[in-house]
A and B are shown apart, each in its own frame.
Chain A
Amino acid sequence: MCLGIPGQLVELDADNDQLARVEVAGVRRIINVGLLEDEILEQGDWVLIHVGFAMSKIDEEEAAVALASLKLMGSGLDDELEMLRGTAS
């Protein structure tokens, strides 16, 4: 839960600035971006997600590196994606 998974912002919720739709390794879900409300977030930006919350804004290279690390962890990424998928919206 502490490793974080990178996701790309697909759509910011026009009605609720706390929410955004992200794509994580092909899985889409709504996450909470309220902890980054002091940052400027735009469609296409990458964020590091912990337990459904964007915790840090990251660049594309960092996102690729983080995702590659998770893939190396074997079941770690699969488990995360399974959980994401299970609650995807």
Chain B
Amino acid sequence: MKFVDEYRDPVAARRVLATIRELAGTERHYKFMEVCGGHTHTIYRHGIEHVLPQNVELVHGPGCPVCVIPMGRIDDAIAVAETPNVIFTSFGDMMRVPGGNGTLLEAKARGADVRFVYSPLDALKIAVDNPERDVVFFAVGFETTAPSTAVTLLKARDDGVMNFSVFSNHVTIVPPIKAILDSPDLRLDGFLGPGHVSTVVGNHPYRFVTNDYGKPLVTAGFEPLDILQAIAMLLRQIDEGRCEVENQYTRIVRDEGNPRALQYLAEVFELRPHFEWRGLGFIAQSALKLRDDFAPWDAELKFSVPGVRVADPKACQCGEVLKGVIKPWECKVFGTACTPETPIGTCMVSSEGACAAYYNFGRLHREAAVTLGRASIPVTSA
């Protein structure tokens, strides 16, 4: 029982698992997508998929900001980084993502001035400290991180820092969910809604999932018990014939989100007509570009960006992984040619990527699950 005992509240976990078993029954198969990479990580780390009944399946979604950036944008980033006089700043995760021309780390080794930053504000500070250089921030992420970039740009404008610019690759959470719902590849019964993105956007934007597509969605936290509870809430909705947007993560997520953060986003960014997503292709109005007011701080206008579309390596199946069509271990190069040390695809790079999470934790828990499967889980009421 070590497995479930690792949960912070094993008694509660067993109780929720008993509810899940009861609601799921045995007659039909349920397939739920966890949209967020943070959830994927929890699911593998705690072996959740192995304690669920066999007819309750979790598939991964596109909610890993590093994973969804297409190769061409990495090449664009490298082209900007290799422009004379540029200091190119990036979150650590992005440094190891391969584009068609290698990674930012390799560009750094060739002599480009590429620096890790923890925050966009650190990039702005580098610009202030180096007035003779052009400092570019490689902005990635969903609505969780985009408000931070927005605040940084407002500060750059207010302080008149003209040698700072942003290469925006911010994306929005709703369009890829819609793209997946429109895709014929997958039949889903519901969604675990993303946690931290929802602190910004709230729960209202997901109403189309229930209203237009008839699928329940439950916004979930990142603890194993959160995930189990959210699964139970999805099953209960289906059992009772309901289809609603529900919030399991009420201790952080409010239905209206963070209006202040949304206001900053609207002030600085507008939707791009199209943006390419790894695995999902071009999705209309799915990414953020700087508004015209911020043109002086827009790296795409300030520098020559090749903007060439680069196809993923043939062997790489990140696209299918990001759509939940295959599991990480079903990819031909998983764990052989593609490992966290030598990643071919983005899903193996980020700690939020499904492949890296499964590589790091999955096999261990498969063994644990076999042990668990032999033991019957006592239903404890407390």
Residues of A in contact with B (beta carbons under 8 Å apart): 1-4, 18, 31-32, 34-38, 48, 50-53, 55-56, 58-59, 62, 65-66, 68-69, 72-76, 79-80, 83-84, 86-87
Contacts and interface: CB of A to CB of B under 8 A. Distances in A.
Interface stretch (B212-220, B253-261, B278-286): B253-261
A35 B264 contact: yes
Given A2-B38, A2-B142, A52-B120, A68 B8 contact: yes
Nearest to B66: A1
Interface of B: 8, 36-38, 41-42, 45, 63-66, 91-93, 116-122, 140-142, 144-145, 147-148, 151, 196-197, 199-200, 222-223, 251-252, 258-261, 264, 351-352, 360
A52 B38 contact: no
Contacts of A65: 8, 223
B117 A32 contact: no
Interface of A is mostly: mixed
Contact of B151 (A1, A34, A75, A84): A34
Contacts, number: 116
B251 A1 contact: no
Contact of A1 (B141, B252, B261): B141
A69 B223 contact: yes
Pick the most buried of B93, B251, B252, B264: most chain A CB atoms within 10 A of its CB.
B252
Contact of B147 (A18, A35, A73, A74): A35
Contacts of B66: 1
Contacts of A2: 36-38, 63-65, 141-142, 144-145, 196-197, 352
